[in-house]
Amino acid sequence: MRRKYCLLVITVVILLVCMIHFQYGQEITVYGSSIHSSRDYTKVELNIVANKFYINNKERYARKLLKDAKNNQLPKIKLSVPNPDEFVITVYTNNQELEENKICFTAVYYPETVHLIIDI
């Protein structure tokens, strides 16, 4: 009986460590970016995988992503447009949802009017 209990505790601890690592231990992945530019208007579109089970506060997460994008601090990508007129960031929770095209939310930001729209 004691051996089964120890085995159960070890299994639960391993599962918890794996879940915590997947939720908090991985950085975002930028899967696609595009820049649309005309004479006096520039739009940057980013597709991001958050690599999480869930995103609890989507507005706060969107603001963090926008801050990182504006400061050009997104991992493994450098934007060539310093101050676009519009940011569109589509966020997927994980790779499986990306493959199934299940969008977690889309954030649209207009820096000139300091307006953020989040489509959940």
The residue with greater pLDDT, 82 or 43, is 43
Bridge partners (DSSP) of residue 39 are none
**Integer Cα distance of 98 and 74 in angstroms:** 19
- Tokens representing residue 106 in the block: 């889309």
pLDDT, tens digit (0-9, with 9 covering 90-100), for 70-80: 888 888 888 88
pTM: 0.78
Q: What is the mean pLDDT of residues 7-27?
A: 81
Q: Is the pLDDT of residue 66 over 70?
A: yes
Tokens matching residue 85: 């007129």
What pLDDT sits at residue 25? 67
* Whether the Cβ atoms of residue 104 and residue 50 lie closer than 8 Å to each other: yes
Q: Which residue has the tokens 């208007």?
A: 41
95, two tokens: 């790779």
